[in-house]
Structure 1
Amino acid sequence: MAAHQSILFLALLLITTSSLIHSFKINGKDVVEATIRGRLTCTAPGTRPLPNSPGIAGVNVVLMCNGDQPSLGQALTDATGFFTVVLKSTDGIIYDPSLCLLKVKLPLAECKVFPPTGTLYAVPALTGVVESLLTCIASYVLGPFSLGA
């Protein structure tokens, strides 16, 4: 019986410490998941879209950190242009929002406001951190997409 209790104790210890090892910190809190939400609309780069601005569907939005390192996450825009990128620390992701941008490659045939080539960039902004007994989840939204090189 003692052997089973020891194994159970070690398993619980491994589970609790592994989440701390792979978590990242935001405002001094160990965060296990980050959710980045945004909307890609057909508006002039660098401007805030109006509520009735048309969204652009089926576009791949990529989260890049530290320049052109491999992407940490990506998502496709839905029929109204909304997307969500979810990062989980259990996937071994180390996320530093101060070094990250979301980007969209041009051209986008659905929108004649954008130039024919280049890249659109948007910066994630922290909107809140939700804590529970076992987890801490950070939520981000995007500012407007701006034109980059």
Structure 2
Amino acid sequence: MKTSHTAFLISILLLASFSSLTHGLLLNGLQIGAVRVNGVLFCSLDGNLRGNSPPLSGAIVQLSCAGSQTNLSQALTNPAGAFVVLVRILDTILFDPSSCFVRVNLPVATCSVFPPDGALTASINLVNIVQTAILDIANFTTGPFVSSVL
């Protein structure tokens, strides 16, 4: 009996692995296979470009969605303060553009202007969808960062 139950479970898993994703992120009628979020972070009180504020290098940027207990993905800012957060095809199922945001937990060691605790958050906005032969990629950019207390 146990062998037939195990064989049944293995069959279901195999069928599921060979089927295409029928549920996932659908934008403008297109099945999205990957998500890319671009942004730039500066060493200013709120993380936005203020006057001649320098770019923030080496900060961890996380992509989170309301209702999800985990971060979908994260990236590190480069020397110009730029980052690209990539979301893999399987994680697009958890991605909801209306409830997702970018977060940087404070403090960040390379910027003494930030408060000692809290976070910087920014909304995300769809820029375009790039269709390729393999998959469709949704490109987002961040809105202005705002400072919040956790």
- The TM-score, its normalising length taken from structure 1, stands at 0.76
* C-alpha contact 2:59 2:77 (8 A) present in aligned 1: yes
For 2:85, give the aligned amino acid. Answer: V
Q: Provide the residue aligned with 1:121 in structure 2.
A: 121
Between 93-102 and 104-113, report the one with greater CA deviation. Answer: 104-113
Matches within 5 A, 1:54-69: 54-67=54-67, 69=69
* C-alpha contact 1:42 1:53 (8 A) present in aligned 2: yes
The answer to which structure has the higher helix fraction is 1
For 2:95, give the aligned amino acid. Answer: Y
* C-alpha contact 1:22 1:90 (8 A) present in aligned 2: no
For 2:114, give the aligned amino acid. Answer: F
Q: Provide the residue aligned with 1:34 in structure 2.
A: 35
**Which runs of 5 or more residues in structure 2 are unaligned?**
1-16
Q: Provide the residue aligned with 1:97 in structure 2.
A: 97
CA distance in structure 2 between the aligned counterparts of 1:75 and 1:131, rounded to whole angstroms: 24
Matches within 5 A, 1:1-149: 17-18=19-20, 20-21=21-22, 23-45=24-46, 48-49=48-49, 53-67=53-67, 69-90=69-90, 93-149=93-149
Q: How far did 1:27 drift? A: 2.0
> Is the alpha carbon distance of 1:140 and 1:51 closer, same or farther for their aligned partners in structure 2, counting shifts above 3 Å?
farther
Between 65-74 and 30-39, report the one with greater CA deviation. Answer: 65-74
* C-alpha contact 1:22 1:89 (8 A) present in aligned 2: no
Q: How far did 1:114 drift? A: 2.1
Q: How far did 1:41 drift? A: 0.5
Query: Which deviations, in whole Å up to 9, do the C-alpha atoms of 1:93-135 show, x marking residues without a partner?
Result: 4311111111111112333332221111011110001123442
> Is the alpha carbon distance of 1:93 and 1:141 closer, same or farther for their aligned partners in structure 2, counting shifts above 3 Å?
same
> Is the alpha carbon distance of 1:134 and 1:23 closer, same or farther for their aligned partners in structure 2, counting shifts above 3 Å?
farther
CA distance in structure 1 between the aligned counterparts of 2:58 and 2:93, rounded to whole angstroms: 25
**Which runs of 5 or more residues in structure 1 are unaligned?**
1-13
- The TM-score, its normalising length taken from structure 2, stands at 0.76
Q: How far did 1:139 drift? A: 0.4
Q: How far did 1:40 drift? A: 0.9
For 1:144, give the aligned amino acid. Answer: P
